[in-house]
Amino acid sequence: MAKKIRVLIAKPGLDGHDRGAKIVARALRDAGMEVVYTGLRQSPEDIVEAAIQEDVDAIGLSCLSGAHMTLFPAVVRLLRRRRASDIVVAGGGIIPDEDVPRLKKAGIKAVFGPGTPLSEIVAFFRDAAK
Amino acid sequence: MSRPGGPGWQVKLVEQLLRGDKRAAAKLISMIEDDDAGASEALAAIYPKTGKCHVVGFTGPPGVGKSSLINRLVREFRERGKTVGVVAVDPSSPFTGGAVLGDRIRMADTGVDPGVFIRSMATRGHAGGLALATFDAVKVLDALGMDLVFVETVGAGQSEVEIASRAHTTVVVQMPESGDAVQALKAGILEIGDVYVVNKTDLGGADVMASNLKFMIEEKAGWRAPVVRTSALEGRGVQELADAIAKHFVHLKSGALWEQREMHRARKELLESMRRLLSETYTGASAGKEFEREVRRIVARKRDPRTAARKLLVKLDVT
């Protein structure tokens, strides 16, 4: 059996909007990946623990509350602390353009704003698992 | 993602597992799921360290509240000082092979507890509400030191009975208004329970469902399966359910039942492993000349399939 790509889609922070996360989860499913979705209002600790137990290749974070500058880098830091920084982290949601370089510097490999074609996101996660 | 490499790496992973390393457990489960080279050796090294945990299977229709109930039970058993592993199975798409694994949503608040390990698993084409790797993953969690391991089946329907032959205790979850007394009489899922649950008592009508179930339950090998009413939403009935599960384990361990069950389980696993080895040996391009020769004989009506199979088996070398 070939190695399956496993991705965790997670919603850190307090906003209750997961339409985007669900659409991405579905697109990755349709691309043949196994997607673990953990639901709303997850702390960075919850997310990293889930990523480790589920042995995912990558994490997709979705945040629409504006707290991405705190929460996204926190996930990367915790992964590093758990010696799991081989797990790739990407983010999406309402993220101002000027925040993107800082997020990338903090270890977020890609940032997908509104209107990103799903094919681009699928391609990213496929590469991330290589 | 890179898999661990170098000589003896499975041994290292297994050592880490036995020290209680969750990442090693997670990696080993993936290896088994992907049927990686080395998975068999790792499992062989793990096997002597297993057999200590209480395996509890949960089955019942989708949306009946299995995940929510498991979440409540994990917390209940944690309060009783037990460590708990969970393997939650969801279906893979038969078209793309992809899956959305959503059982963890209901268990989000227990996932970070150091005494808990939760793994979501896709069926990957396996029927019967479980994945091929499910019970090997249970062995990994057993070796990790979990006192209980809960297995949540897909919940596809009435014929999901494989779980009963592999779990020590099978919990069948139902809800009110999901069928009359005749539904409760039907064969299959309602015959396999060691404990029955009517969940969602907050919806009302639970008493009718519970008495329908009680009507159908018979005593088997000195055990009359109890019917427990719960509301996972409100946390009601969870202690009684935990008590019933623990009591069933004591019952199993008390007589000759345990050894019978273990013998049955070992027999089944041995047969399954033989079947698997066989089909792996004779799949696709690797099937070999001998196999293809027999195929042509069968097509030409020169040999019947059973005789051909016997001929191949006599000459078989799967190592």
- Residue B16: pLDDT above 80? yes
C-alpha to C-alpha distance for B240 and B271, rounded to whole angstroms:
37
Residues of chain A contacting residue B29, judged by C-beta atoms under 8 Å apart = 55
Residues 175-214 of B with CB under 8 A from A: none
Sheet holding A110-112, edge to edge: A110-112, A88-93, A58-63, A6-10, A34-37, B99-101
* B136 lies in the same domain as B120: yes
**B23 C-beta neighbours (distance < 10 Å), count:** 16
Question: Is residue B212 domain-resident?
Answer: yes
Q: Which of B67, B100, B144, B283 to mutate to test the interface with A (most CBs of A within 10 A)?
A: B100
CB neighbours of A15 closer than 8 A, spacing ≥ 6? A63, A64, A65
Task: Please name which of B278, B220, B238, B258 lies closest in space to residue B77, comparing C-alpha atoms.
Answer: B238
Four-residue CA torsion sign, B30, B32, B37, B40: positive
Contact A4 B34 (CB under 8 A): yes
> What phi and psi, each to the nearest 5 degrees, are found at residue B230?
-130, 160
Convert the pLDDT of each residue in A6-48 to its tens digit.
999 999 988 888 999 999 999 999 999 999 999 899 999 999 9
The CA distances from residue A94 to A97, A102, A112, B197, in Å, are 9, 15, 9, 44
| Number of separate domains in chain B | 3
Residues of chain A contacting residue B86, judged by C-beta atoms under 8 Å apart = none
Last residue of a domain, one of B213, B237, B255: B255
Per-residue confidence (pLDDT) for residue B36, from 0 to 100:
86
A96 touches chain B (CB under 8 A): no
Domains of chain A by start residue, with CATH: 6-128 (3.40.50.280)
- How far away is chain B from the Cα of A63, in angstroms, using its nearest Cα? 17
Query: In terms of pLDDT, which residue wins out, B286 or A120?
Result: A120
Give, for A22, the enclosing helix (H) or strand (E): helix A19-30
Give me the mean pLDDT over the B273-294 stretch: 80
Domain encompassing residue B279: 262-314
B124 touches chain A (CB under 8 A): yes
Per-residue confidence (pLDDT) for residue A1, from 0 to 100:
52
C-alpha to C-alpha distance for B38 and B6, rounded to whole angstroms:
12
Question: Is residue B284 domain-resident?
Answer: yes
**Least reliable range by pLDDT among B117-131, B157-171, B289-303:** B157-171
Contact B26 A29 (CB under 8 A): no
By Cβ distance, the residue of A30, A39, A82 closest to B98 is A30
pTM value? Answer: 0.91
* B250 lies in the same domain as B268: no
By Cβ distance, the residue of B22, B97, B100 closest to A35 is B100
Question: Is residue B164 domain-resident?
Answer: yes
* B76 lies in the same domain as B162: yes
* B227 lies in the same domain as B210: yes
- Residue B3: pLDDT above 60? no
CA closest to A41 among chain B residues: B108
List, as one string, the DSSP characters of A61-101. EEE-SS-HHHHHHHHHHHHHHTT-TTSEEEEEES--GGGHH
Give me the mean pLDDT over the A66-79 stretch: 96
Question: Is residue B319 domain-resident?
Answer: no
Is residue A84 within 8 A of residue A51, CB to CB? The reply is: yes
Percent of residues, chain B, with pLDDT higher than 70: 91
* B199 lies in the same domain as B277: no
Helix and strand tally (H, E) in chain B? 12, 8
Is residue B197 within 8 A of residue B230, CB to CB? The reply is: yes
* B55 lies in the same domain as B42: no
Contact A53 B35 (CB under 8 A): no
Helices (H), chain B: 9-18, 22-34, 39-46, 66-79, 134-144, 162-166, 181-185, 206-216, 238-254, 257-281, 289-299, 305-314
According to DSSP, residue A32 is labeled T
Last residue of a domain, one of B240, B255, B270: B255
Give me the mean pLDDT over the B142-161 stretch: 86
Is residue A106 within 8 A of residue A73, CB to CB? The reply is: yes
Give me the mean pLDDT over the B33-49 stretch: 91
B112 touches chain A (CB under 8 A): yes
CATH number of the domain bearing residue B109: 3.40.50.300
The CA distances from residue B49 to B45, B140, B223, B256, in Å, are 8, 9, 29, 23
pLDDT confidence bin for B187, thresholds 50/70/90: low
Residues of chain B contacting residue A31, judged by C-beta atoms under 8 Å apart = 96, 98
pLDDT confidence bin for B285, thresholds 50/70/90: low
Give, for A26, the enclosing helix (H) or strand (E): helix A19-30
* B19 lies in the same domain as B154: no
CB neighbours of B295 closer than 8 A, spacing ≥ 6? none
Per-residue confidence (pLDDT) for residue A85, from 0 to 100:
94
pLDDT confidence bin for B58, thresholds 50/70/90: very high
Locate tokens 């389980």: which residue? B265
Query: Which neighbouring-strand residues pair with B196?
Result: B172, B227
Q: Which of B104, B105, B141, B276 to mutate to test the interface with A (most CBs of A within 10 A)?
A: B104
* B105 lies in the same domain as B149: yes
